[in-house]
Amino acid sequence: MTNARVASGQPVVQFHGKWPFHRLLGMQEPFSVLFSLGNLAAHWDGLGKVRARIPASYPLRPWYVWLARVGIASWVFSAVFHTRDFQATEELDYFAAGANVLYGMYYTPIRVFRLDRNTPRRRSLLRVWSLLCASLYLCHVAYLKLVRWDYTYNMAANVAAGVVQNILWSWFSYNRYRTSRRTWAIWPGLVVAWVMFAMSMELFDFPPWLGCIDAHSLWHLITIGPTLLWYKYATSLARLLLP
């Protein structure tokens, strides 16, 4: 348990790493649910943009579609978990969030190094990379489910996958802007910086304001913007590069 004091001087007690919240319509953490649904809507809107604006002939389109689908699933399970915290909802939230982060790491080299292009070398690299990422995810889930439910390990694994893709996107953005001097080239770097700022919310643990809004819910809120910007970048660039 962790104790803190609000303005009234009354202690607020944290049980098992979670602050008490005022419930709304039975939801344990209503603002985390609301902002999770906001992220879900951003991915849903992104999926619609990908389908409407990028022709099926564009090689990267399937990866954009699955990026949106995995994001939608992840935020559905996040909303469910923050509505009701049971073992099953917690596990589904963690496994879906892990899939979302790992898919981002999987997709990033495909886009940055264009492993989608139909050459023998790239096809071989894509098969190896796909097998490696699938194996990593299965081992991750198996460890958490069958060996030990380890919060520290789970966080470290997600941070490591996030750092890899953030470094690649930052390099990609810098290199593209240096060679093209186009404004669109800085968008991936802007998204990375925005997401890193959002993740920093997890470092600030404070009793929920008005019994409703905590650092975790703010993290969910701040990630909506970069998601919308990302799909705008992806669809705009795809259309720009089409013949």
Residues 6+ apart with CB under 8 A from 235: 49, 50, 53, 54, 64
**What gap in Å lies between CA 1 and CA 3, rounded to an integer?**
7
Q: How far apart are CA 145 and CA 3, in angstroms?
A: 31
**What's the confidence (pLDDT) of residue 150?**
93
* pLDDT score of 88: 93
pLDDT tens string 159-197 = 899 889 989 998 988 888 888 777 767 777 778 887 777
Residue 63, number of CB atoms within 10 A of its CB: 19
Could you tell me how far CA 159 lies from the centroid of its own chain?
A: 11
Query: How would you write the pLDDT of the chain (243 residues) with one tens digit per residue?
Result: 344 444 344 444 444 456 566 666 666 878 888 899 999 999 999 999 999 988 888 889 999 999 999 999 999 999 999 898 889 999 999 999 999 999 999 999 999 999 988 898 999 999 999 999 999 999 999 999 999 999 899 989 998 998 899 899 989 888 888 887 777 677 777 788 877 777 766 666 666 666 667 777 788 888 998 899 889 888 877 665 544
Cβ count within 10 A of residue 104: 20
| Amino acid at position 122, single letter | R
DSSP 86-142: -HHHHHHHHHHHHHHHHHHHHHHHHHHTTTTS--HHHHHHHHHHHHHHHHHHHHHHH
Longest Cα–Cα distance of the chain, Å, equals 67
